[in-house]
Chains A and B, each alone.
Chain A
Amino acid sequence: MRSLVDTLIVLFGVSTLVFLLLVLIPGDPVDVILGESAQAADRAAMRSALGLDQPLWVRWVDFYADLMRGDLGDSLIRREPVAELIMERLPATLSLAAIALALVLVLALPLGVLAARRHGRWPDHLAQGFALFGVSIPNFWLGPLLVLLFSVTLGWTPVSGDREPGSLILPALTLGLSMAAITTRMVRSSLLEVASQAFLRTARSKGLSEAALTWRHALPNALLPVITVLGLQLGSLLAGAVITEVVFAWPGIGSLLVDAIGQRDYPVVQGVVLVIAIGYVLANRLADLLSGWLDPRIRIAD
């Protein structure tokens, strides 16, 4: 119950900040719609139609009233409901984030475990090297490099877009690599920390194999901090998809956001930022729930 209240407070704060975006961003929505050649009377009429002539608090109340009805307003440029634009794009972003997350799990768990089990030896150095590479390389550079190799040179994948099969591979790889790198490091360090604990010594003395020891006993205990980080990263996957989507012309909410910022389409910017923020909050709450499920002590503490 307390977490639900916390979540609602955070969402209220985020949505208020998002509303204030419209007021704080320099520029005039009327200019965006009517251009510079508009007559003063037309500008005044449009200002009134948009409610921009109302006091800030009235606009704030209207914003919440609309939000409660799921109405995020209309795009100034496309002249379509923002909610519809977002709903049309959201599945593309979610599928990209889901595949990237799957890639993270597929890469980071075995690599982290391998690095911890072969601590100080070459597999560990290799995993650490991969982690350093993944964290250091920016998405906007990695993306074109992958395209040069896999699309242009080898011809295995399409360059960009979502029309051809296999289009998702390179964007997901680009988006997931840095996250996989961070998670690999987390898994490794958590496992090393858990390895010295008494319950593992007991399990080992009972004659359990190293593999069973690692996967059945050490990993579930080491996963708690990893899940917390994954929760944070899952939220940032939505936000982080912005660059990847632009580079790969992936039709998700990230590229919608970038277009809207460039066109000063304030309601769309508001709507997308709100959705990303909600995604972030929900991902973190999900991570909290998972942690509680894995470790009853956390549930009891809550």
Chain B
Amino acid sequence: MVRWLLLGLCLLLGACTSESPDHIVFAVATAPSVLDPRLAGDAASERVNALLYDRLVQLDEHGTPGPGMATWQRLNARHYRFTLRADRADYWDGTRPVAADVVATYLSLLDKALGSPHAGGLAHVSEIVSAADDQIDFHLARADPAFPARLTIGIVPARLAADRQAIRAPIGNGPFALVERRENAGLLLERRTDGQRILFAPVADPTMRSLKLLRGEAHLLQNDLPAELYGYLADQPTLELQQVPGTTFAYIGFNLDDPVLAKHEVRAAIAYAIDREAIIRYLFGGRAHTAESVLPPAHWAAVGDLEPHTYDPARARRLLREAGFDEHKPLELSYKTSTDPFRLRIAYVLQSQLAQIGIRLRIASYDWGTLFGDIRAGRFQMYSLAWVGVNTPDILRYAFHSGSLPPDGANRGRYRSDEVDRLIERAETLDAAAAAPLYAEVQRLIHRDLVYVPLWYESNIAVSRGLADYAPGHDGNYLALQRVRVADDRIR
């Protein structure tokens, strides 16, 4: 009876079919907000824009810049010349990207009226001129040896860049072309080499995303699932789970202006009281790696000799006593986190671990905007966040230089160290080889001073069905879609 009723409803609304589509369905947690690389600020938009637009420079997994659609020469400390490669891809409409497109893209990006989130990192660009049809000169107001690494924004056609609005009908020269975009109902891309189509289907709820994969309505998921769902999906014979080390750096931040947390002993006690290995094993199901610094180990400016704050509750108790706190004078701290259920679960484990050494942690959970607003304003004692997509050592100035206190940067803990400032400023004037030891020293000082308790790098995990040759990028990018194959003919 129920079946007949449902069948009737199906007839009323069309027909219930679950035929295999002719495209690969990639179920994502959020749809890209803008298909304009100049304005893309969120991870979802940046990852999809990287498929639609080529860039002058590409960063490899070590954060080292390499030629994208251009090679470059440093003519002097403040003058770079980029030459477009002869084998660069055309735009989808058949036109060839030329220097004027690059100039228009970057000039519009620096235009205050556009309001690009990338403008801050290029504020020292004083002039951009087209030296020839395929040559672009960038003049800088100050020396910047790391400048090429900043030119990773997709190049849009000059006629689209002229408008001081977001591009609504994008035309790119990346490996994929846009076929169809419906507001939050999906984004259909076509691979330019062989016509393989990929549908990005936004499904916010992680359980529903997993169910779509199980039923065959989706063929690929990447990240943004609770650990227990990964465990469940990994056990399904029709699905394949792939895991690669990630660069998303999770940490606990301290407010160093707080009189209690200004004491190094208190911060050290907290660091030694946290059993990161246990959290990774039980909460992440082993799908994360302990971290010591914001720059991932494979990065050219990373430091490899940082002594971890290994779980040692006895040492933590001793340090806390040295700071003047014990069972007669217990320490109470507040910890701000988001409303994400998984982040809250981590918070409760931290609360339990800190309770073992006599710290009472009050957990305050806020929606993202309130949490971020409080952190920017310094209204916190401890908080937890993560740095996503760290590719350049600029992060060290941005997050730890005393000139980067909010609103001028992301030194949210209000850390001030003349030595760190001096080393960062010196490193920024040097080539990578000479700068690397200075950046390493900066990271040693930050680690010693415990500005953050470094927690872990979360792995990038893809779960697929009937696909081959896909692995998530080290920073969660989707670039492997350029080579993904349908291994199961039912998807074709």
Contacts and interface: CB of A to CB of B under 8 A. Distances in A.
A39 B120 contact: yes
A37 B186 contact: no
B201 to A, nearest CB: 6
B42 A77 contact: yes
A78 B166 contact: yes
Given A160-B203, A249-B205, 16 more contacts: A26-B369, A31-B373, A36-B407, A37-B410, A39-B119, A39-B120, A79-B39, A161-B212, A163-B201, A164-B18, A249-B208, A251-B184, A255-B184, A261-B367, A262-B368, A264-B368
Kindly name the residue among A33, A77, A249, A255 whose own CB sees the greatest number of chain B CB atoms within 10 A: A249
A152 B18 CA distance: 11
Top-7 shortest CB links A-B: A165-B14, A79-B166, A37-B120, A166-B16, A35-B117, A251-B185, A27-B373
Nearest to B366: A26
Contact of A159 (B39, B217, B374): B217
A38 B117 contact: yes
Contact of A165 (B17, B370, B374): B17
Dominant secondary structure at the B interface: loop
25 contacts: A25-B369, A27-B369, A33-B115, A36-B398, A36-B409, A37-B410, A38-B120, A46-B112, A99-B13, A143-B208, A147-B211, A156-B10, A156-B16, A160-B208, A161-B185, A161-B186, A163-B201, A165-B17, A169-B10, A247-B205, A247-B208, A249-B201, A249-B204, A256-B184, A259-B30
Interface in B364-379: 367-370, 372-374, 376
Contacts of A34: 115-117, 119-120
Interface in B165-210: 165-166, 168, 182-186, 201-205, 207-208
B120 A77 contact: no
Contacts of A158: 16, 18, 217
A80 interface: yes
A34 B110 CA distance: 12
Interface in A131-184: 143-144, 147-148, 150-152, 155-166, 168-169
B376 to A, nearest CB: 7
Contacts of B75: none
B6 interface: yes
B41 interface: yes
B121 A37 contact: yes
Contacts, number: 178
Interface of A: 25-28, 31, 33-43, 45-46, 49, 77-80, 85, 88-89, 92, 99, 143-144, 147-148, 150-152, 155-166, 168-169, 246-249, 251, 255-256, 258-259, 261-264
Interface in B15-55: 15-18, 30-31, 33-34, 36, 39, 41-42
Contact of A144 (B17, B119, B207, B376): B207
Contacts of B204: 246, 249, 255, 258-259
B208 A147 contact: yes
Contacts of A49: 112-113, 115
Contacts of A78: 33-34, 166
Interface of B: 3, 6, 9-10, 13-18, 30-31, 33-34, 36, 39, 41-42, 112-113, 115-117, 119-121, 123, 165-166, 168, 182-186, 201-205, 207-208, 211-212, 214-215, 217, 367-370, 372-374, 376, 398, 406-410
Contacts of B120: 34-35, 37-39, 42
Kindly name the residue among A45, A80, A258 whose own CB sees the greatest number of chain B CB atoms within 10 A: A80
Given A37-B409, A165-B16, A259 B6 contact: no
Given A34-B117, A38-B120, A247-B205, A159 B373 contact: no
A258 B165 CA distance: 24
Nearest to A157: B16
Contacts of A259: 30-31, 184, 204
B247 to A, nearest CB: 19
B16 A31 contact: no
Contact of A151 (B30, B215, B374): B215
B41 A35 contact: yes
B34 A88 contact: no
Nearest to B218: A159
Contacts of A157: 6, 10, 16
Contacts of A166: 9-10, 13-17
A43 B208 CA distance: 40
Contacts of A88: 183
Contact of B373 (A28, A42, A144, A249): A28
Contacts of A169: 6, 9-10, 13, 16
